[in-house]
Amino acid sequence: MSRTASRSSSVGLQDLGKLRIVGIVLISLVGLIHLLVTPEYFEYAAYVGLLFLVNVAGSALSAYGIYRGARWGWILGLVISIGSFLGYIVSRTVGLPGAPGILREPFTEPPGLFSLVVEAAFVVVAAYVLTRQRRTTASPGEVT
């Protein structure tokens, strides 16, 4: 296979350079934010603290996958970001089972708001990357 042919077949997630860096930074921030507030949430409900630790581990794994140029890294990051976003909304509205009402703090809590912004930004970047990758790998006659 010629060098040109192999280059065109490798177009996809590995050729995204700056977007990969942005994705790694954003998902790492999601994990870091959750790591910093984990002790506080262990006091409220142990399972919430454990979920935060799972978030941290998943964010690190996602960042590694994105670094390696793997599609699963972006997908895992989407699951983590969307899950975290929804968890924050649910905890501030209807509440979480077994967690005291203190988790129903206002939406204006600074770490929570920053986390929402970072998670939403990751979702936008990941959606762009995954749809771009899908378009570049589709065959010319295939409708995307």
CB 112 within 8 A of CB 30: no
Q: What is d(CA 63, CA 126) in angstroms, rounded to the nearest whole number?
A: 12
Alpha-carbon radius of gyration of the chain: 18
pLDDT in tens, 12-62: 555 568 999 999 999 999 999 999 999 988 888 889 899 999 999 999 999
Which amino acid would we find at residue 129?
Answer: V
Q: Where are the domains of the chain?
A: 15-133
pTM of the model: 0.79
